[in-house]
């Protein structure tokens, strides 16, 4: 189990099972490619070159220069590199892997940056706007992008797995940079009490996920994701109120 796999099961069990079996692969979105491009710039020159090569047709115009999204991504990278606090937050060993066990299932995490001397870890996130509000069914209210994309959940799981490996709780931070021009930026911290709900949420959901993953129960379709739209076959009609 990983945080991304857990989130994928919550979003759509059917799509996730097809992906795990190698029977379906969602196309890389532009947002995902831009995120990988920005992340790799802080991992290593080799990682950055690998992303540039892999997505060269998406990044570079045939007549030279980069497409607008990647010119903006370069501005985002420079915004972080030129900020002392952001770089302090990202200071540490990059892309570290750890494994552990939570709720009767093995987990694997990949930490953007971890500093054992300072007992902290950090994750670099790109977003549209630091202050944009998103409705969350999980929380039942409008939230920031951090809650909306389950980054609090991610930090809670990472924190527990890191403790299993080090014997201590490390302090998590998010270094956020926006896709605005010029980019906005912030280093975000978490009140530790936020993690209690996330861990309870994981414990509540994991039994269903384990059962579906082991094929003990049939995976449900969300009927909203790319996979479900692609494979959808109509079998009934719906009243308009059910659209929302």
| Mean pLDDT in residue range 150-166 | 98
Q: Which residues neighbour 36 within 8 Å (Cβ) at sequence distance 6 or greater?
A: 51, 55
pLDDT in tens, 177-186: 999 999 999 9
| Mean pLDDT in residue range 146-156 | 97
pLDDT in tens, 23-48: 999 888 999 999 999 999 999 999 99
Residue 122 pLDDT > 90: yes
Q: How far apart are CA 146 and CA 169, in angstroms?
A: 21
Q: How far apart are CA 23 and CA 231, in angstroms?
A: 12
Does the reported pTM lie above 0.85?
yes
| Mean pLDDT in residue range 14-24 | 96
Q: How many angstroms separate the Cα of 46 from the Cα of each of 53, 75, 202? A: 11, 20, 35
Higher pLDDT, 6 or 243: 6
Percent of the chain with pLDDT over 70: 100
Q: Could you tell me the two tokens for 78?
A: 């420079």
| Mean pLDDT in residue range 205-234 | 95
First to last CA, the chain: 31
Task: Give me the domains of the chain, ranges plus CATH numbers.
Answer: 3-223 (3.90.320.10)
Query: Which neighbouring-strand residues pair with 120?
Result: 115, 171
Q: Could you tell me the two tokens for 144?
A: 């920031």
Contact 100, 106 (CB under 8 A): yes
Q: Chain-wide mean pLDDT for the chain?
A: 96
Q: How far apart are CA 25 and CA 175, in angstroms?
A: 29
The pLDDT value recorded for residue 244 is: 81
Tell me the three state secondary structure of residue 189. Answer: coil
Task: Give the CA angle between residues 185, 194, 140 to the nearest 5°.
Answer: 90
Contact 162, 114 (CB under 8 A): yes
The pLDDT value recorded for residue 111 is: 96
Residue 145 pLDDT > 90: yes
């Amino acid at each position: 189990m990983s945080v991304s796999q857990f989130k994928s099961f919550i979003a759509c069990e059917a799509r996730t099972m097809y992906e795990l079996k190698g029977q379906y692969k969602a196309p890389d979105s532009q947002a995902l490619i831009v995120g990988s491009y920005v992340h790799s710039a802080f991992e290593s020159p080799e990682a950055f070159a690998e992303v540039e090569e892999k997505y060269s047709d998406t990044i570079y115009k045939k007549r030279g220069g980069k497409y607008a999204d990647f010119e903006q991504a370069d501005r985002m990278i420079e915004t972080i590199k030129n900020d002392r606090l952001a770089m302090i937050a990202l200071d540490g060993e990059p892309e570290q892997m750890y494994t552990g066990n939570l709720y009767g299932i093995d987990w694997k995490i990949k930490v953007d940056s971890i500093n054992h001397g300072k007992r902290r870890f950090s994750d670099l996130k790109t977003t549209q706007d630091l202050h944009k509000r998103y409705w969350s069914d999980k929380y039942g209210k409008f939230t920031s992008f951090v809650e909306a994309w389950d980054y609090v959940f991610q930090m809670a799981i990472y924190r527990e797995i890191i403790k299993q490996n080090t014997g201590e709780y490390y302090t998590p931070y998010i270094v956020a940079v926006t896709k605005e021009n010029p980019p906005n930026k912030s280093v975000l911290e978490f009140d530790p009490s936020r993690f209690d709900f996330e861990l309870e949420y994981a414990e509540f959901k994991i039994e269903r996920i384990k059962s579906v993953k082991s094929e003990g129960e049939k995976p449900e379709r969300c009927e909203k994701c790319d996979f479900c739209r692609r494979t959808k076959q109509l079998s009934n009609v719906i009243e308009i109120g059910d659209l929302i």
